[in-house]
Amino acid sequence: MQEFSLIPNICMIETCRDFLEQFQVGQKDVIITTKFLYETYFKDFELESQFIFQDQYGVGEPTEEMIVSMYESMKEMNYSRIIAVGGGSVIDISKIFVLKNIFPLVDLFDKKIPATKEKELIIVPTTCGTGSEVTNISIVNLTSVGSKKGLAIPELFPEYAVLIPEFVEKLPLSVFATSSIDALVHAVESFLSPKATAYSELFSREAIQKILTAYRNIKEEGLESRGKYIKDILIASNMAGIAFGNAGCAAVHAMSYPLGGKYHVPHGESNYVMFTEVLKYYYRKNSKGKIVILNEMIAKLLSCSTENVYAALEELLNTLLPKKRLSDYGVQKQELEEFTNIVMTQQQRLMANNYVFLDEKDIYSIYKSLY
């Protein structure tokens, strides 16, 4: 049985200029990015590459409509390599475009269309949370079925994941907070996953340690000090991506998708809404398993007791991103059943990785407690 896999080559390159030179970026490349990143980092280089600006096709996380519109712009371009420079949306969309046949998207995500890779892919993350640069997973809001869905196939792995600290040094606080909390959730869920192995746990543990240590320092030194720790968190995000790419994510992600999809809540923020409540529920259902090790690890990092670990964790995360209730986003109480149904019918890929079995009543109960 396979214990662990790491497909992309991982590179650390300090600046955009060095990246362009080392990878000989040129006319056979399509760079999928945002207008802001182009103006900030690429404009002065007078590249022969073709550019697609994701934010000109819609805002927020990837949707069917966004991908269809971008495809119309790209289908006449002559290129052999896609370079994704951006956050989770740019990365997830770029992964889809390496495939030969992608429509209808719902059929692709239901694996009714054979996946054939025909383009090389390089991914450069510009946030510190997605971890998607080292995974074979793409998440898209399939509006025709009313929820985000994930496609996980080997063809979506990039050839290279390139970490460039220059791109993340000046992240706004909101982006830093939501993306790095997402990385923390990746690390924790992959650690608790029944698919975790001794190898994936190495990456989960190191990511948890790096992120929580950085958060404590930022809390003590002030939010403006976060730039000092950005490289550590960029590496931690990458490690968490390696961990969840092998062991998977679980109920936190599954439960966050209906909220994010319907109310356009940033992914890391919707994860945080669910995060500690899911952990508490896990602990109540099985307080003698692996979650004990997790709680001890976090308690040690936060200098608190294991009995107080979830409260201490929330207190720390709230310094970066104050937690809201579902009702604060406009969610109506009657929607909790709808959210529960979406999780149970459309997110079994994630629910299979739960620390303990959660049924429909459990999911509804967690949503209700968060309302």
Distances from the Cα of 191 to the Cα of 130, 207, 245, 353, angstroms: 17, 10, 12, 10
Residue type, 54: Q
Q: Same domain, yes or no, for 160 and 180? A: no
Structure tokens given for 159: 């050839």
Q: Are 13 and 19 in contact (CB under 8 A)?
A: yes
Could you tell me the pTM of the whole model? 0.92
Write out the residue range of the structural domain in which residue 67 sits.
9-167
Q: Are 230 and 36 in contact (CB under 8 A)?
A: no
Q: Same domain, yes or no, for 114 and 202? A: no
Q: Are 166 and 202 in contact (CB under 8 A)?
A: no
Is the preceding omega at residue 104 within 30 degrees of 0, hence cis? yes
Tell me whether residue 295 is in a domain. yes
Residue 1 pLDDT: 77
CA dihedral of residues 214, 219, 224, 228 (deg, nearest 10): -20
Q: Same domain, yes or no, for 71 and 198? A: no
Pick from 151, 24, 150: which is nearest to 80 by CA? 24
Of 149, 167, 185, which residue is a domain's last? 167
Pick from 268, 120, 271, 248: which is nearest to 191 by CA? 248
Q: Transcribe 278-320 into DSSP letters.
A: HHHHHHHH-TTSTHHHHHHHHHHHHTS-GGGHHHHHHHHHHTT
Of 133, 167, 201, which residue is a domain's last? 167
CA Rg, the chain, in Å? 20
> Is 10 in a helix, a strand, or coil?
strand
When divided into structural domains, the chain yields a total of 2
CATH number of the domain that residue 61 is part of: 3.40.50.1970
> What residues in the chain have per-residue pLDDT under 70?
none
> Is 172 in a helix, a strand, or coil?
coil
Tell me whether residue 73 is in a domain. yes
CATH number of the domain that residue 206 is part of: 1.20.1090.10
d(CA 348, CA 68) in angstroms, rounded, equals: 26
d(CA 163, CA 16) in angstroms, rounded, equals: 10
Tell me whether residue 20 is in a domain. yes
Q: Same domain, yes or no, for 112 and 59? A: yes
Residue 2 pLDDT: 86
Q: Transcribe 83-135 into DSSP letters.
A: EEEESHHHHHHHHHTTBS---SHHHHHTT-S---B-SEEEEEE-SSS--GGG-
Q: Same domain, yes or no, for 135 and 39? A: yes
Q: Same domain, yes or no, for 155 and 198? A: no
Tell me whether residue 4 is in a domain. no
d(CA 334, CA 371) in angstroms, rounded, equals: 11
Q: Same domain, yes or no, for 163 and 201? A: no
Pick from 120, 132, 131, 117: which is nearest to 83 by CA? 120
Of 141, 167, 193, which residue is a domain's last? 167
Q: Transcribe 228-280 into DSSP letters.
A: GGHHHHHHHHHHHHHHHHHH---HHHHHHHHHHHHH---HHHHHHHHHHHHHH
Tell me whether residue 1 is in a domain. no
Pick from 128, 155, 118: which is nearest to 8 by CA? 155
Q: Same domain, yes or no, for 139 and 186? A: no
Q: Same domain, yes or no, for 309 and 241? A: yes
Q: Same domain, yes or no, for 225 and 114? A: no
Tell me whether residue 304 is in a domain. yes
Residue type, 244: F
Tell me whether residue 234 is in a domain. yes
Q: Same domain, yes or no, for 357 and 241? A: yes
> Is 359 in a helix, a strand, or coil?
coil
Tell me whether residue 238 is in a domain. yes
Q: Same domain, yes or no, for 114 and 205? A: no
Residue 258 pLDDT: 94
